[in-house]
Amino acid sequence: MGVRITFLGGADTVTGSKYLVRHQDESLLVDCGLFQGFKQLRLRNWNPLPVLPQSIHAVLLTHAHLDHSGYLPLLAREGFNGHVFASTGTRDLCKILLPDSGHIQEEDAEFANRKGFSKHAPALPLYTRQDALDCLPLIKTVDMGTAFQPIPGWRATFQSAGHILGASSVLLEVAGRRILFSGDLGRPDDSLMNPPDRPPAADTVLIESTYGDRSHPVDNLLAELGPALHRLAARGGVAVVPVFAVGRAQALLHAINQLKARGDIPTALPVFLDSPMAVHTTNLFEHHAGEHRLNQSEVRALTHSATMVSSTDESKALASRHGPMVILSASGMATGGRVLHHLEQHAGKHRNMVILTGFQAPGTRGATLAGGARSVRIHGHDVAVEAEIVNLQSASAHADGNQLLDWLRAMPAAPAQVYVVHGERQASDTLRARIQRELGWRAMVPEHGSTWPS
């Protein structure tokens, strides 16, 4: 039997990426992500995998975002004990993100039990901070461009995908087949990260499609963010900015620095970064200088452009401050964490602002806010939304539909087949149709749980 790929996540949806590659009696996972968004998707995190974790021989991580790495603590707790191969940047970020994810889940469960709004008694975390710490020794780093054997006889190579620190595409070679996993591809014109490397030749490609049905606007981030923060400062409001702690938080800090330097917004406008993992991630930019566009002074400016909020008490103290001010806080789609407390306090006042900074997966609070809802459910009750909602279109760290096609066009030869993954159905199918129409390649959108040949 040939090489087969089973789509255990990242198919029919933009979250939960898990691709099981099997040949004979051996198998590995490319990515090990959490499902986010709609409740029926989040419930998949609680379902056992259709394969025993101890039967998986290795895991390859394309990058550290939780929809690609966040299931790893649970996989290890349930019996996986092989190596997890990743770039150095991905390893460094996982050491921040995974324990923080477990801590947030413990905090949210404790808060639900204390307030009595959970339907479960008691509410339990999916995994704990200790579970995350326990899985970290499994991660083995590999340099970009260096071939390695995750399983004897299987060959893999990471190459830069842009997007965030450590983000990689993966070329997997097994039984004479070359399978290319795009991972999440960054933008060639990203303000923060270097562009993705050109793709190698492959028989099969798995291409992400987060923005497969749209094009990024011509306006850059400064042109969108500057007027919004100028309005906010003029009326003395508070801006709550849900951000991904990795990548998006740093891009927003850099943009705010530039706006202040140009005089587009008041230099005295207070900015707070209320996310311990975003604070730690910002410090990593100094240690991964080759992966991003910032020079040393710009990196230093990131760490001095905002008040870094680490402790819970410091976060709670923000509630007693008056505007104008800007609070950047995780998570980027307002699915959990400290940002919920800030939204709960500030979303109901008309002088305030909620700034959404990228793709909001359907079913998340971020998507609810982007859709113009006048209330949003937080901690078991409905919170009125009177604040101005600003949905930035230029802040995404994902390649758009045209840029995804350009990346595919750069392949040395046409692959035999393309699987369009990691996107909502419309985005994935739009990209599939463009690949067939414009490139003349065979492409399909696999269903969740389906198995296809490589």
101 and 231 fall within a common domain: no
Reading the block at residue 82, the tokens are: 């092989």
Pick from 391, 420, 441: which residue ends a domain? 391
The secondary element (H helix, E strand) that includes residue 240 is strand 238-242
109 and 37 fall within a common domain: yes
Pairing of strands 26-30, 18-23: antiparallel
> What type of residue is 344?
E
147 and 262 fall within a common domain: no
The total domain count for the chain is 2
Pairing of strands 443-444, 417-421: parallel
409 and 292 fall within a common domain: no
27: containing domain: 4-214+397-453
Query: Nearest Cα to 268, choosing from 220, 236, 243?
Result: 236
Find the CATH number of the domain harbouring 368: 3.40.50.10890
Residues found in the chain: 454
72 and 101 fall within a common domain: yes
DSSP notation for 337-362: STHHHHHHHHTT-TT-EEEE-S---T
Rounded to a whole number of angstroms, the distance between the first and last alpha carbons of the chain is: 11
195 and 260 fall within a common domain: no
Ordered per-residue pLDDT tens for the chain, 454 residues: 799 999 999 998 999 999 999 999 999 999 999 999 888 999 999 999 999 999 999 999 999 999 999 999 999 999 999 999 999 999 999 999 999 889 888 988 888 788 776 667 788 899 999 999 999 999 999 999 999 999 999 999 999 999 999 999 999 999 999 999 999 999 999 989 999 999 999 999 999 999 999 999 887 899 999 999 999 999 999 999 999 888 888 999 999 999 999 999 999 999 999 987 788 888 889 889 889 999 989 988 887 889 989 888 999 999 999 999 999 998 888 888 889 999 999 999 999 999 999 888 888 999 999 999 999 999 888 999 999 999 998 888 899 999 999 999 999 999 999 999 999 999 999 999 999 999 999 999 999 999 999 9
Query: Nearest Cα to 401, choosing from 207, 118, 228, 202?
Result: 207
Binning the chain into helix, strand and coil, the percentages to the nearest 5 are 35, 20, 45
408 and 428 fall within a common domain: yes
The predicted model scores a pTM of: 0.91
Q: What is the pLDDT of residue 22?
A: 98
354 and 403 fall within a common domain: no
Strand partners, 276: none
Q: What is the pLDDT of residue 181?
A: 98
What is the SS3 string spanning 202-214?
A: CCEEEEECCECCC
Query: Nearest Cα to 14, choosing from 56, 48, 65?
Result: 65
Q: What is the pLDDT of residue 314?
A: 93
Q: What is the pLDDT of residue 330?
A: 82
199 and 277 fall within a common domain: no
How wide is the angle at C-alpha 91 spanned by C-alphas 81 and 190, nearest 5°?
A: 140
Sheet holding 139-141, edge to edge: 139-141, 83-86, 58-60, 26-30, 18-23, 4-9, 451-453
Find the CATH number of the domain harbouring 418: 3.60.15.10
Reading the block at residue 167, the tokens are: 């983000």
Pick from 367, 391, 415: which residue ends a domain? 391
401 and 271 fall within a common domain: no
Q: What is the pLDDT of residue 303?
A: 76
Pick from 370, 391, 412: which residue ends a domain? 391
Query: Nearest Cα to 300, choosing from 250, 370, 247, 246?
Result: 250
Query: Nearest Cα to 443, choosing from 405, 406, 410?
Result: 405
Residue 80: DSSP 8-state: -
316 and 382 fall within a common domain: yes
Strand partners, 366: none
Cα–Cα separations (whole angstroms), residue 126 to 5, 43, 132, 340: 26, 10, 11, 19
Q: What is the pLDDT of residue 118?
A: 65
Alpha carbons 94 and 401: distance in angstroms, whole number = 28
203 and 307 fall within a common domain: no
